[in-house]
Structure 1
């Protein structure tokens, strides 16, 4: 099977990056938004919840729509809507309008991630798919590093509304990149109607699959071990580590370096290591990172670089295992890759929403509680993977 052109990974990564950009870019502006809109910290935190709740709901539909109308049409429409939603946020006169704009962003922001995964499986399988998925994740991983830096610069130069104007421009750029460079990868003969009964059966089949839920759950819980720190970045960096609004890079740049390195290694071992081995090594690395994180938080005062170093190791192991876990989940339903990708994203973002709305505010009060939260997420993700392996061993015995 021929290799994909280099620009395809870049376009797919840019489409997926709309998610972290929607979250990370405006994190440094929480205080400024609260002052401008006379909103409490909890009300500002709920702008994240508004985004994630609609994001989680709509990712159930992006894949089904892409299975019906094709990959390009859904991506073009979603990115255009995202650009419009970002303008609503930029012009919001009250916190309620900002909630509305963020919710509208959430309805469209997940399409790039969901449909992009389906495009990869439309084009490739096996080691080729893992390499392309790893390449996309490697480029995509840069987004969480540069997003808060861009947000901090825009906040300083032009105020918090400029951040959402930037997101509107980014959405418009993605419309152009999709139209210009992304081919349609789903032939008409492979498309599925949006019949309610057929859709219900398809969703029930995917979400009722124990193997799928375990694999998708492992991805989601592993990611939330790091995402907890993303959501808690203002408290972790500014309150506990004593850093300023322009210094969010102390967390995001090293963490993203871990993600880039893990994704690169995943692509390198594709075709040489079995997926289960790649995943197991990733979990082992994350376990070491979690142990170090808890120990450091318990015995040392918060500071650099020791409070951030375990997070870097965690993101390395997470990114090493994630492409293989994702592809194993999608391969369970080769005829409905778009819908399966939607279901995987629904599970992930649903857990993200709970973390954003409930767990992060409960855990961000100290480095030790954050470390314990990371350990808990990894524990649940590890149990899910172990249960899947045991089920697979039982089937092959």
Structure 2
């Protein structure tokens, strides 16, 4: 059964009930509205990373910096996101989901204005840090809200639906960024994502109910919050599952975090051409998420994740072969990352529900720990590793294969432990 008064078969019953919808069709429509809002909250992260990519050339010229310096625009945001992520979840466990989401979106909007008005790269990086510190309030808490509303199979289906819509963001974001540059210079992009955050805040206030009532809340004190985080982080099963998906996803993310170098420097494309990489790769994520939703209740989570990881591993091996044979040429350079994305798209919704189910009384803390693992890893990848392995499509593909292999080994360890 679902938590509170929200039926498991109805994604938006919390909203629908409050609005007095009289029939099942209206409730289903309200459910899809809730799904769209939660997906919008999840999209804030990739919009923050990918929308500025097409403006990097402009920003380099205006600030007088090199392409490696521009990589800091990505890594500063991601490192700050990773630092704050452990605290968004416990805060929502203590004060409720909606106050954390609304407050974070407000700060994010102000940080975006600061980015748009930045006169130099150091100032821009300062406001990117503020963006990163606040963005997790919507992206991390959105997953927690899904699990608050749904149980079991319905939770996996809802997570998959959100992932399908969210998966459009990395494909759309650089295209939107390129289009915005047709109407103005690079600050236009930050004005846009700031407005997006404001719109999200208004819609959340209108559509999303408070899913964590006062009687279930944790103490609003630093000590208990840190103890909750430590309790989650010490759980061996949680750690094995978390690191397995983190490392497999890192094999995909190294392409996302290094997209500016991969698309422009290696593939020789322009600022309007990011879609040639992002559209097929995100198509893989969406297809994988759809498969995950369809498999919910039909295939066990254990088997589904195992098959998904095998798909990503086989795709990573094929990716290396394609890089060696065809080099930096389309479409071959994007075939491997797109196939890897199918596997991660299948695994991610399923394993996220399993991670949150480990700690039903402190889901916010569980979501934070589950979120900080890939975020911290990907921030290190984007900051330290990407500049070292983007010299050729082959070194990039081999690095991706190493990450995915490590993740699959940890998942195998998890399966043996549970056997």
> TM class, shorter-chain normalised?
over 0.9
Q: How far, CA to CA, are the matches of 1:376 and 1:279 in structure 2? A: 19
Q: How does 1:196-235 map to 2 (within 5 A)?
A: 196-235=222-261
1:372 maps onto 2:372 in alignment: no
Q: How far, CA to CA, are the matches of 2:287 and 2:314 in structure 1? A: 17
Aligned to 2:16: none
Candidates 278, 281, 286, aligned match of 1:255: 281
Query: SS where residue 157 of structure 1 aligns?
Result: coil
Query: SS where residue 39 of structure 1 aligns?
Result: coil
Q: How far, CA to CA, are the matches of 2:353 and 2:382 in structure 1? A: 26
Q: How far, CA to CA, are the matches of 1:248 and 1:375 in structure 2? A: 23
1:194 deviation in Å? 2.3
Aligned to 1:321: 347
TM-score by length of 2: 0.92
Structure 2 unmatched runs, 5+ = 1-7, 12-30
Aligned to 1:126: 152
Aligned to 2:201: 175
1:3 maps onto 2:10 in alignment: yes
RMSD across aligned positions (CA):
1.1
Aligned to 2:362: 336
Q: How far, CA to CA, are the matches of 2:201 and 2:34 in structure 1? A: 15
Q: How far, CA to CA, are the matches of 1:46 and 1:320 in structure 2? A: 31
Q: Which moved more, 1:66-75 or 1:235-244?
A: 235-244
Aligned to 1:115: 141
Candidates 273, 278, 281, aligned match of 2:307: 281
1:353 deviation in Å? 0.8
Deviations 1:315-351 (A, max 9, x none): 0111001111111111111110001101111111110
1:129 deviation in Å? 0.3
Deviations 1:96-127 (A, max 9, x none): 11011100000111122211111111111110
Query: SS where residue 328 of structure 2 aligns?
Result: coil
Moved over 3 A (4+): none
Q: Which moved more, 1:367-376 or 1:192-201?
A: 192-201
Aligned to 1:241: 267
Aligned to 2:125: 99
1:156 deviation in Å? 3.2
1:43 deviation in Å? 2.4
1:43 maps onto 2:69 in alignment: yes
Q: How far, CA to CA, are the matches of 1:179 and 1:235 in structure 2? A: 39
1:41 deviation in Å? 2.4
Candidates 283, 288, 291, aligned match of 2:317: 291
Q: How far, CA to CA, are the matches of 1:197 and 1:70 in structure 2? A: 18
Q: How far, CA to CA, are the matches of 1:159 and 1:214 in structure 2? A: 45
Aligned to 2:333: 307
Structure 1 unmatched runs, 5+ = none
1:157 deviation in Å? 2.7
Q: Are the aligned partners of 2:327 and 2:393 in contact in 1 as well (CA < 8 Å)?
A: no
Q: Are the aligned partners of 2:92 and 2:364 in contact in 1 as well (CA < 8 Å)?
A: yes
Q: Are the aligned partners of 1:259 and 1:316 in contact in 2 as well (CA < 8 Å)?
A: yes
Aligned to 1:63: 89
Q: How far, CA to CA, are the matches of 1:120 and 1:219 in structure 2? A: 19
1:385 deviation in Å? 1.2
Q: Which moved more, 1:186-195 or 1:266-275?
A: 186-195
1:385 maps onto 2:411 in alignment: yes
Query: SS where residue 307 of structure 1 aligns?
Result: helix
1:239 deviation in Å? 2.1
